[in-house]
Every structure is written in structure tokens, then in C-alpha cells.
Chain A
């Protein structure tokens, strides 16, 4: 069953573009990554799903219900963590979390304690006295305390140290095992690669590609870099169309997809100083989606 479904979802802020005709389906139990550079429309998409902003045209449903019309019911089962967290003045962590829990129709006190213990968060401290990372932890607990069926995360890892990031990902993986669907936006591909099943890439407001992380890696690009003693005309090599080709002086790098033996034969014919061939990270594969077309 599709947990999230958007049809030609479009948002303009006056004349400026938010998102254009976004079609997205996130199935139950998935961890879905949403990738794009800043300003591509990730937040706009998530905020529309949360009914924080109203679409200009198109529609979106969560659990089969319209996100604007049934916002209240939908929110009962949604956990949301924004990229930046802010809280009321002069409150203890415990008080804030209890207030947050008071909106849901269930007893969340046990889950609050569990999550706080996992994240090493002191519930009796004043929020004002917490470091940024610790405030972020309050946000995580706040988003997960009601064991939501759908977790929406908008660039959630900023401000978390790597150790906490791991714990956070572990918790997300557990929530997912429990049955929660996760939609996760990020501009850092490696963290998406680590966690997500499928990925959508958004660029300038439009979805340019949706595929499984597995398939994307299957595309098996090789990242090739070398330095030669004499300048090389790379088009003369006969390796076909190369992505991400950069050449500065005698240093060349590109993404290669095709027969590896051919690549090796061609490279061995050159007078090389140094060579480096490795499986490309998603980041490198999709860099070209990021760059604006000339």
C-alpha cells in the first residue's frame, strides 16, 4: 500500500518556483530518500505533505487521505523532525516532551524514557541550557515519542555528531522494522545510501529520477582518475561518452560505465604517473544531476 502518494504536486511562491508536478509514491515499510541540493524543493515537498503549506495545484495523500483536508487525522500518525529545532523559553526537556505528547491519543511516557536513555538525553535539564546537538536530540524524541507510522525527516542529521548520527540511524532502522515508513530528505548522498531503500532525486523543483539505491549502485559507474606525463586528448581514447569529465593540465578524471578491459587497455597505452580506479559513490554518480545545465 502506498503511504505517500503525490500527483502532479506543484507549489509556486508567488512567481517563484517551489516544486513542479512532483509525482511520488512511497510504499508502506520503505525508507525513502529524497535528495537534492539546497533550494531544489525538498523542504517544500515535505512541508506540503505536512499541510504547512498549501499546494498551488496537484494533490497529495498520506494513508490514502488528502493531506490538507485530513491533516488532523494524518498528523496523529506522523512524526516530523525539521532540520532546525526551536523550543519554548524556559522549559525543561521533560515539560516540552510532555506537552508534545499531550497532543496524541496515547500514553507516550515510556517511549520518552526509552528514547532519552538511548540518546543520552537528560530530561530534567532546561532546554535553554542545552547544546545545539542536545536540542536536536530533544527534536528526535519529540518526533518519535508517539511511535508514528510515518516519519518525515527534513535534513535531520545537521548538528549531530557522527556517534549520535549512528544511534539515530539505528533508531530509525528499528522504527522501520517495527513497521514505520520513513521519508528522509538530505543533500548528503552518503547518509541516504546508508539507510534508504529507494531514492528520489529532485532538481530545480522537479523529480529527475526515482530508483532503488541498489539499482543506482548497480549502474556500476567507475570513478577513474589519472595523471599522465604528456597531455592526453581524452576524446581520442575511444571510451565513448564520459560523465563528469574534468581535465586540468595532465590530470584527468571521469565516470566510466562499460567494458572494464577496454578501459584498462586504453589506460595502459598511456604514459601514466598515477592512476586511481574505484567504484563510484552515489554522490559522484549523481553530481551531474546537481549541476545546473548550461
Chain B
């Protein structure tokens, strides 16, 4: 497990920074909630006067916005955006590390099978995602239970929060898949940002256009917070899309990585 240990150690500082950033986001947003909950009589009409389209693209649902969990599911849209950037960067950065640094020869001439190199790297990615997710979950739970006036619907919280993990796994998978396809990788940040923002813009477009088919290719729509909030469940077709894309990315990455020619740089 030397590759796992190496990759884990190399990235742990960065993961802790991401956790810190996410803590700020959750902390600041959630600390708004009590203030704004107190002013509910003033706030609600303001939101009601906003055009429908603005609300949709912001991910705001007025019915749910004035409960702590509803408010949390609103934050979740931005939380998902951030964890997806982190996850794709982890996938691309860890699996694509040797491509970026022109070091494929180094790692692949060692006495270790390609599949085990890839698996250990993916486990390291998984470990970083898990640390981030656990951190976000615990922090969110603490924040939520401290601001929620009624009893917290734990199941709804859990399932909302699990969607964060699913988004992480999905984007890490996409990152891994892109990493094995590339022969050169200049900037992990550049590639990650373009993928995430393309998909995020698609999400906004879908919110505005409301084309049903657009939802299927817009991963940020696969976990509709409002649906989850009311049904305490995911939408099965969207969960199917998630499984399909994640599965194809990871299996595809495995097949390509174990068979591809490594060219001289």
C-alpha cells in the first residue's frame, strides 16, 4: 500500500484546506439563518416578489427556505459546487499526477501491476473524499441542530448529506477518467474548472429552460434538494444516471489505464 500512503500524505494538507474552506462556507451561511428566521415576516414577501426564474437559478424554494433544513438544502447547491471541484481535482490530480509530471515511466516500471497502481490511487482519492465528507457532515449536523427550532428530521438530513458524497464520487470518477485519457496535462485546476463550470452552467440553463431531458445530462440536477427534502428519497432515474456515469468512468478508466501505451515524453 505504498502508493496509497504516498498519495494520501502528499494531498492531506490540501484536503485540510478544503475542509477549512467548506467550514467557512457552512459556518457563515448557517449563522445567517437565525437572524433571517427572526425577520421571516419581512424576508418572505421580498422573496415572493422576485421573479420565478431568479429563484430557480439560485436554487431557492420559498416553501422550504424558512426551515433550517430547507435553508441547508439551499446552501447544499453551493456546497456541491465546491466539493465537486475538489473531487475532480483529486481524481485528476492523483491519477494524472505522473502524466502531468511526465513521470509515468517512473511509476510503471516499478514492480507493481498497473491495476494495483490505479486501485491504490483511487483508494487514496476515496480517503480524501471521505475525510472531507465526514467533516462536512459533522459540522453541518452541529450547525443545523444548533439553529433548528423544531426537531431536526435526521433522515432527511442524512439523505441530503449523502447526496454530497455521491456528487464527490461522481466528479472524482470523471476526474480519474479524464486523467487516463490525457497524454499531457498542463493544469489540473484548468481542466477541473472547465468541466465543473460547464456542468454547472448546464444546471443553471436547465433551471431556466426547464427542458426535462437537460436534467439527465446535468449532474448538479440529479439530486434535486427540494425533491429529496419532501420525499426523503432520491429520484430513481437520476440515481440511475449517477450510477451509469460513475460506473462507466471508473470501469473505463481501469480498462484504459491497464492497457494503454505509455509514450516517451
Chain A residues in the interface with B (C-beta under 8 A) = 13, 43, 47, 50-54, 71-76, 78, 80, 82-84, 86-89, 99-100, 102-105, 142
Contact = CB atoms under 8 A, between A and B. Distances in A.
Given A52-B262, A53-B262, A100-B110, 16 more contacts: A50-B109, A52-B108, A53-B261, A72-B113, A73-B111, A74-B111, A75-B109, A75-B111, A82-B264, A86-B101, A86-B103, A87-B103, A99-B2, A99-B6, A103-B112, A104-B111
Contacts of A80: 105, 109
B265 interface: yes
A103 B106 CA distance: 11
Nearest to A83: B264
Q: In this complex, which of B6, B108, B109, B265 has the most chain A Cβ atoms within 10 angstroms of its Cβ?
A: B109
Contacts of B6: 99, 102
A84 B265 contact: yes
Nearest to A154: B264
5 contacts: A72-B112, A72-B113, A73-B111, A83-B264, A86-B101
Dominant SS at the B interface? loop
B110 A54 contact: no
A240 to B, nearest CB: 42
Contact of B259 (A54, A72, A100): A54
B96 to A, nearest CB: 13
A13 B261 CA distance: 10
Contacts of A82: 105, 264
A76 B111 CA distance: 5
Interface of B: 2, 6, 10, 97, 101-106, 108-113, 259, 261-265
Contact of B2 (A71, A89, A102): A102
A104 B2 CA distance: 10
Contacts of A43: 264
B174 to A, nearest CB: 24
Contacts, number: 65
B119 to A, nearest CB: 14
Nearest to B6: A99
Contacts of B110: 75, 100, 103
B109 A53 contact: no
A89 B10 CA distance: 10
B101 A89 contact: yes
Contacts of A50: 105, 108-109
Contacts of A103: 2, 110-112
Nearest to A96: B106
A82 B108 CA distance: 12
A43 B101 CA distance: 19
Q: In this complex, which of B101, B263, B264 has the most chain A Cβ atoms within 10 angstroms of its Cβ?
A: B264
A82 B10 CA distance: 24
Given A52-B262, A54-B259, A99-B2, A88 B109 contact: no
A43 B265 CA distance: 11
Contacts of A86: 101-103, 106, 265
Contact of B109 (A52, A54, A83, A99): A52
Contacts of B104: 52
Contacts of B259: 54
B264 A72 contact: no
A78 B106 CA distance: 12
A74 B112 CA distance: 10
Nearest to B2: A102
A53 B97 contact: no
Per CB-CB distance, the 5 closest pairs between chain A and chain B, nearest first, are A103-B110, A76-B111, A53-B261, A75-B111, A102-B2
A44 B48 CA distance: 68
Nearest to A71: B113
B103 A54 contact: no
Nearest to B10: A88
Q: In this complex, which of A87, A99, A142 has the most chain B Cβ atoms within 10 angstroms of its Cβ?
A: A99
Contacts of B264: 43, 47, 82-83
A95 B90 CA distance: 22
A194 to B, nearest CB: 25
A53 B263 contact: yes
A115 to B, nearest CB: 17
A277 B81 CA distance: 76
B240 to A, nearest CB: 35
A13 B183 CA distance: 14
A220 B102 CA distance: 44
A80 B107 CA distance: 11
A84 B264 CA distance: 9
A150 B247 CA distance: 40
Contacts of B262: 47, 52-53
Nearest to A53: B261
Given A54-B259, A103-B110, A88 B2 contact: no
A47 B103 CA distance: 14
A77 to B, nearest CB: 8
Contact of B103 (A51, A76, A88, A102): A88
B1 to A, nearest CB: 10
A158 B104 CA distance: 20
B261 A52 contact: yes
A72 B97 CA distance: 21
